[in-house]
Amino acid sequence: MKICVLGGDGYCGWAAALYLSGRGHQVSIVDSLVRRQWDRDLEVETLTPILSMPERLNLWRQLTGKTIPFFPGDVTDYEFLSATIQTLAPEVVVHFAEQRSAPYSMIDREHAVSTQVNNVVGTMNLLFALREFAPDCHLVKLGTMGEYGTPNIDIEEGYIEIEHNGRKDILPFPKQPGSFYHLSKVHDSHNITFACKIWGLRATDLNQGVVYGTVSDEVALHEGLINRFDYDEIFGTVLNRFCVQAAVGHPLTVYGKGGQTRGYLDIRDTVRCIEIACQSPAKPGEFRVFNQFTEQFRVLELAHMVRAAAKNLGLKVEIDHLPAPRVESEEHYYNARHSKLIDLGLQPHYLSESLLDSLLNIAVKYRDRVDQSLFMPRVNWRNARNDRSQKLAATLTL
């Protein structure tokens, strides 16, 4: 299939592009490389050393004989995006080109606004470009389980049957996003739903849980193809942070009681889910939703799993509880359905089978690159502020 991966330089996008290319699909990448700029702006760095995009793609071509064309540009630039869609004429667009960090969106006004502009405007541009130049193209969009929040009922896959005052209907599952980032994803879902309804576009929303792992068959070909391993408080996941902390002997920092429960999946399952969605496309006019995760864990449960695995490597690990910087329930009910991708053929990898090889061993290998100052939370949901505005206001007062 002709597949265009938007955001192919990022964590999920890079893994997906290599996997799909390795499986024989005609893959192209569109990316503005802004993810690297955000690292520079925040003065953080992935644990694993990442080559430049040209170096990565040249290495892939040398190792496999497969070429992945790269189109540098921003999805918020409609002229660029629409011209690229016309040039590529893709059968599938896999959309990863979004700012994907909740803490980033909660830093201050500037970061909240830029998150919503990048995500919502970029997706809107894509919808109009597909309507105009590739109306039969299947949009595979990366959503997030965070759209649902943590309701005190079972979370269905996208839709729920409601009976009210003697009448029934199937409606989108209620949204309770927990950050301006998650809100942007909700806006995306509504916009895509509307575009499918009025224009007959076809789309699959993959509401993904927390992804972990760096190891895949493609990356294993050469260290220069290695994926990101973010552990900082902005872009890092809690599981990555725990593994890096264990590798350097730092206590595992659990926010609050650690009862926050989320869905998790291996990066190898992420890329397989993408291919499954591509090979079983939505119908014209259909907006379908798959919940994309394989296991559920509480944060404290993850901390104990990492501590036990680290002990097998001779690492002594303690667990510390910190005040929670986020506005969220520290203990809550959480039971989300996730059967549709299994029904279509997903064979999951499990954290218990990959914690050492895909996470802890990587953290130990690159622990000389660890910056321990990045472990502690600095972004507070209750006190997001714009330092530039404050400095300007102080100047005007003076």
Q: Which of 11, 104, 148, 181 is catalytic?
A: 181
Those residues whose C-beta lies under 8 Å from the C-beta of residue 277, and which sit 6 or more positions away, are 138, 140, 204, 206, 290
Kind of pairing between the strands at 2-6 and 92-95: parallel
Cβ 159 vs Cβ 173: under 8 Å: yes
CA atoms within 13 A on the CB side of 50: 18
Helix segments in 285-386, DSSP class H:
299-312, 340-343, 351-355, 361-365
Q: Residue 169 phi/psi, 5° resolution? A: -160, 155
Confirm whether 212 is a catalytic residue: no
Asked whether the CA dihedral 263, 267, 269, 271 is positive or negative, the reply is positive
Tell which residue, 175, 192, 28, has the closest CA to residue 124: 192
Known catalytic residue at 391:
no
Count the residues in the chain: 398
The two structure tokens encoding residue 278: 């591509």
Among 185, 212, 253, 255, the active-site one is 185
291 φ/ψ angles, rounded to the nearest 5 degrees: -85, 120
Q: Which residues of 261-291 are buried (b: 16+ CB within 10 A; e: fewer)?
A: bbbbbbbbbbbbbbbbbbeebbeeeebbbbb
- Relative to beta strand 26-31, strand 70-72 is parallel
Task: Give the C-alpha separation, 249 to 193, whole Å.
Answer: 47
Residue 350 designated active-site: no
Catalytic residue among 144, 214, 253, 270: 144
Between the alpha carbon of residue 17 and those of residues 1, 6, 23, 69, 227, the distances in Å are 13, 10, 10, 11, 12
CA 229 → CA 11, 302, 370, 372, 382, distances in Å?
8, 17, 11, 15, 28
Give the dihedral sign, CA 368/371/372/377. negative
Which residues participate in catalysis according to the annotation? 144, 181, 185
